[in-house]
Amino acid sequence: MCSQSTSEQISHYILMHTYLIPLIKKLEQHANRNHAEWIEAYMLHQFDFWGIKAPVWRKLSKDHFKQGLPAFEEMEQIVKDCWKHPKRELKYVAIELLACYKKQWTKETIGIIEYIITQQSWWETVDHAATSLTGPYFKRFPDQTHKVTQKWNRSKNIWLQRSSLMFQKMYKDETDIGLLSKYILQLRSSNEFFVQKAIGWALREHSKTDPKWVKAFVKKASLSALSEREALKRIVR
């Protein structure tokens, strides 16, 4: 099991919003050093982990949320406190917590969503946000979609670029294929692995809904080998 010195724990508690402290204590009790070493290696030793598997941290966080939620006005500070904490799992919890407030989101909520995408970024938090935050946000505020995602797509930040490709991944037959096509074509020459992978993944997700369109698009779009391979995985077996 993972262990921290008492002074380290107290220091982390002092920095945290009071809503998080009981949950952090529960998470610490389920830390597993063996799994932490494995996941840290998988994430190329960029982040520290408690080593808590997803079903466990999800249950612990959901149980905590059920006991009551803080005021929505406190959410931005809570998310940023989670990002200050050294353990990666707390970032996942922050994404799940912000998703609990969908009905209270305003257009300005995109600010904290962009913070999540661009701070201590890696594919797992960015894609988690695409499912739980960015996709639902643009469903709630469709008039923001083109303005914000075009800015992301043309930015120099690869994680914003990736988000412009992935935010529709759960939209199924409501996918704006014109927008998806545009964003893919604008990024198809990128040298970034995570952008090329996202192009393929976005197309693969849509192939579950419209495989004929995806196959035809790939045929004429001159994508990278990586993007094409990922796009056609469900179609060509």
Structural domains counted in the chain: 1
Q: What average pLDDT does the segment 76-98 reach?
A: 97
Task: Reply yes or no on whether the pLDDT at 2 is more than 70.
Answer: no
pLDDT of residue 131 exceeding 50, the answer is: yes
| C-alpha 186: how far from chain center | 22
Percent of the chain with pLDDT over 70: 93
Give 63's DSSP letter.
H
The CA distance from 100 to 94, in Å, is: 10
pTM reported for the whole predicted model: 0.92
Helix (H) or strand (E) holding 6: helix 6-15
| 2 in Cβ contact with 50 (< 8 Å) | yes
Task: Transcribe 16-47 into DSSP letters.
Answer: S-TTTHHHHHHHHHT--HHHHHHHHHHTTT-S
Stretch 143-161: mean pLDDT: 98
Q: Is the pLDDT of residue 14 over 70?
A: no
pLDDT at residue number 15 = 78
Tell me if 203 is assigned to some domain: no
Q: Is 175 a domain residue?
A: no
Q: Which two tokens stand for residue 229?
A: 């391979």
Residue 8 banded pLDDT, cuts 50, 70, 90: low
Query: CB under 8 Å, gap of 24 or more: what pairs does 61-68 form?
Result: 61/23, 61/93, 61/96, 61/97, 62/96, 64/22, 64/23, 64/26, 65/96, 65/97, 65/100
Report the CATH number at residue 120. 1.25.10.90
Q: Note the pLDDT of residue 9.
A: 54
Evaluate whether residue 234 is within a structural domain: no
187 assigned to some structural domain: no
With respect to residue 15, please indicate whether it lies within any of the assigned structural domains: yes
In a domain, 198, yes or no: no
Residue 148 belongs to some domain of the structure: yes
CA 3 to chain centroid, in Å, comes to 28
Read off the pLDDT band of 16 (50, 70, 90). confident
- 85 to 24, 78, 121: CA distances (angstroms): 10, 11, 14
pLDDT tens track for 176-233: 999 999 999 999 999 999 999 999 999 999 999 999 999 999 999 999 999 999 999 9
Q: What is the pLDDT of residues 26-75, one digit of tens each?
A: 999 999 999 999 999 999 999 999 999 999 999 999 999 999 999 999 99
Which structural domain range is residue 149 located in?
6-167
The region of weakest confidence among 1-5, 57-61, 79-83, 138-142 is 1-5
Position 3 scores a pLDDT of 46
49 within domain boundaries:
yes
Residue 127 clears pLDDT 90, i.e. is over it: yes
